[in-house]
Amino acid sequence: MSAPVDSLPIERLAADLGAIEYSVDERVLRAKSRDRFAQSPLLREVMRGLTADIYIAPVSKEELRIAVGSCARHRIPITVRGGGTGQFGQGVPLTGGAVIDVTGIVGVLGQRLGTVRALCGTLIADIDAEIRPTGWELRMHPSTTRKATIGGYVAGGHAGIGSCQWGILRDRGNITAIEVMTVEEEPRLIELTGDAVNIAHHAYGATGIITEIELPTAPAWNWQELVIAFPEFAQAVRFAVDVCESEGVLKKVVSPQQHPLPTLYPDLSRLIPEGHSMVLMMAAEQSMPNVADLAADNSGAIVSRCDEGTGSYRLPLYEYTWGHSMMHFQRKNRGLIGLLALYPQDGLYESILRVCEEFADLGPTHVEMKRFDGGLSAQGSPVWEFESQEHLAEVTRRLQAAGLSIANTHTPTLLASGMKPWAAAEAEFKRRVDPYRLLAQGKSDDEVEDDLIRSTQLPNSGWSYRLTDSTGESDTAALDPAPTAANGVTPESVR
């Protein structure tokens, strides 16, 4: 790892901040240099002791511009922090420098038919709360929606609640626009639209500081939370595939979980008969007759049904799915882990069962149903107790041999993760918006350090998308906008 930044530039940076809130207190720096990386036993070791040298908390884009401009002048590395809900170390400063907390830059800026635009630090739940009275809501959100910022979700997330209906964030049409701030002495604002939004999406903040986001919205149905028990996991998977392939059935989350995983949720386990697997689901009220028929066709019993957020199990149902699931599992057994495996779209049902049977000795299977590139898939893996990095690598090889594509969630680097393509467009855009290479140091593909790669690398193939062609080049237009200052002018546009 690189050495911490010298104190003199930090002192000069602090002097530039004026009335902008900042801290160099060690306790504050420790707290604000962490996210939820401790879910990974590999990251627990790699991230140990990594902290920023200064914490900055702007409350407006103008204060952000001042802080970023000063960091550029003094060559201070920048890690942008939202709600701290990332699980891969996206919010951890690998080389010290400044952690810039954007949670004070908040507000819904506007809503038009089919979209909403908000500042980067706005909580996702707050966006939905503001627009729901108009009959609309965001198409998708993470399981951490009550704590996650919209900027952090787009910068570090990829899918979530709603992906079984709408696809992943990367799919065309799921991000309308992203405004980013450059890291220069005089920061500029650049508006990304069309396919160009994916240059900033899931880049961990390496390709510009996200300042505003415009996302599509969908009708805000009366969502029903469902806990459905199945005698056999095969029946749960058959139901999950059938309900997701029924495109007229409106759903928000479909999460099959094999016995004994339901027993790891104290607030849910009492609902599930002994030895049964379950599917956690959110469905629109008008789709319930179809959901009930499909559950019965597969010997499933709806053991709990309620309006969203009113369940007897204490939390919103989506907080027992996606990234939240492992948090619950580790409360019972801190050693449990999994992999982010993507199942093939062809023969999806057969593939999930084949992997479940082949890896039965390893642990029970948990998957989340989702669409991407226009087809139905699922992501997840068996859940088992961590032994070593070598064993994790062997499981990775075995899962890939079984036909799955693996993204490594036990690394803070984009290269080792394999979830985001880093092509010529990303490299060129980063060169122009971050000329001093201060953003997300050590995390983008062309600047990771060998020791970090070695300590977190797995033999994973990564994911590929239709939006990226076979040569690895992003399907993005040429990027050559004229420079524009950030001081209240209209941002330049890149499509």
Q: Using one digit for the tens of pLDDT, what is the confidence trace for 211-260? A: 999 999 999 999 999 999 999 999 999 999 999 999 999 999 999 999 99
**CA–CA separation, 73 and 87 (whole Å):** 31
The tens digit of pLDDT for each residue in 252-306 reads 999 999 999 999 999 999 999 999 999 999 999 999 999 999 999 999 999 999 9
Do 411 and 42 form a contact (C-beta atoms < 8 A)? yes
Check residue 5 and give its pLDDT: 59
Q: Which CATH architecture has domain 223-407?
A: 3-Layer(aba) Sandwich (3.40)
Measured from the Cβ of residue 244, the count of other Cβ atoms closer than 10 Å reads 21
Confidence of residue 136 (pLDDT cuts 50, 70, 90): very high
Which of 123-137, 195-209, 410-424, 479-493 shows the lowest per-residue confidence on average (mean pLDDT)? 479-493
Confidence of residue 116 (pLDDT cuts 50, 70, 90): very high
Residue with more model confidence, 9 or 8: 9
Check residue 472 and give its pLDDT: 45
Which element (helix H / strand E) includes 29? helix 26-32
The tens digit of pLDDT for each residue in 290-303 reads 999 999 999 999 99
Check residue 471 and give its pLDDT: 39
397 burial type by CB count under 10 A (0-12 exposed, 13-18 middle, 19+ buried): middle
End-to-end CA distance of the chain: 36
Residue 492 has pLDDT above 70, yes or no: yes
Check residue 7 and give its pLDDT: 74
Q: How large is the average pLDDT for residues 152-163?
A: 96
Residue 344 has pLDDT above 80, yes or no: yes
Is the sign of the CA dihedral 148, 149, 151, 154 positive or negative?
positive
Instruction: Say how many CA atoms lie within 13 Å of 240 toward its Cβ.
Output: 37
Q: For residue 116, which of 101, 103, 134, 102 has the smallest C-alpha distance?
A: 134
- To the nearest whole number, what is the mean pLDDT of the chain? 92
Q: For residue 317, which of 406, 234, 254, 408 has the smallest C-alpha distance?
A: 254
Measured from the Cβ of residue 425, the count of other Cβ atoms closer than 10 Å reads 23
Which of 164-178, 343-357, 450-464 shows the lowest per-residue confidence on average (mean pLDDT)? 450-464
Q: Which residues contact 215 (CB under 8 A, 6 or more apart)?
A: 115, 116, 117, 118, 138, 139, 150, 174, 175, 176
Do 282 and 224 form a contact (C-beta atoms < 8 A)? yes
Do 122 and 149 form a contact (C-beta atoms < 8 A)? yes
The percentage of residues in the chain with a pLDDT greater than 90, rounded to a whole number, is 82
**CA–CA separation, 200 and 232 (whole Å):** 42
Q: Where are the alpha helices (DSSP H) in 282-421?
A: 288-297, 322-332, 348-358, 389-401, 414-417
Residue with more model confidence, 150 or 467: 150
61-74 vs 7-17: helix crossing angle, rounded to 10 = 150
* DSSP code for 334: T
**CA–CA separation, 193 and 218 (whole Å):** 19
Which of 27-36, 47-56, 245-254, 454-463 shows the lowest per-residue confidence on average (mean pLDDT)? 454-463
Characterize the bridge pairing of strands 209-219 and 177-181: antiparallel
CA angle 297, 298, 300 (to 5 degrees): 105
Residue 3 has pLDDT above 80, yes or no: no
Coil/strand/helix, residue 155: helix
Q: For residue 52, which of 35, 38, 37, 69 has the smallest C-alpha distance?
A: 35
Q: How large is the average pLDDT for residues 135-149?
A: 97
Coil/strand/helix, residue 242: helix
Residue with more model confidence, 26 or 448: 26
Residue 468 has pLDDT above 90, yes or no: no
Phi and psi, residue 329, nearest 5°: -60, -40
Q: For residue 213, which of 160, 162, 154 has the smallest C-alpha distance?
A: 154
Is the sign of the CA dihedral 464, 467, 469, 474 positive or negative?
negative
Q: How large is the average pLDDT for residues 428-433?
A: 96
Q: How distant, in Å, are the alpha carbons of 87, 436, 442, 453 from that of 93?
A: 14, 16, 9, 16
Do 300 and 226 form a contact (C-beta atoms < 8 A)? no
Residue 482 has pLDDT above 60, yes or no: no
pTM above 0.85, yes or no: yes
Which of 111-120, 433-442, 471-480 shows the lowest per-residue confidence on average (mean pLDDT)? 471-480
**CA–CA separation, 392 and 396 (whole Å):** 6
**CA–CA separation, 163 and 305 (whole Å):** 21
Residue 310 has pLDDT above 70, yes or no: yes
Coil/strand/helix, residue 362: coil
Measured from the Cβ of residue 80, the count of other Cβ atoms closer than 10 Å reads 29
**CA–CA separation, 377 and 4 (whole Å):** 43
The tens digit of pLDDT for each residue in 158-214 reads 999 999 999 999 999 999 999 999 999 999 999 999 999 999 999 999 999 999 999
Confidence of residue 475 (pLDDT cuts 50, 70, 90): very low
Domain ranges for the chain, please list them.
Answer: 223-407
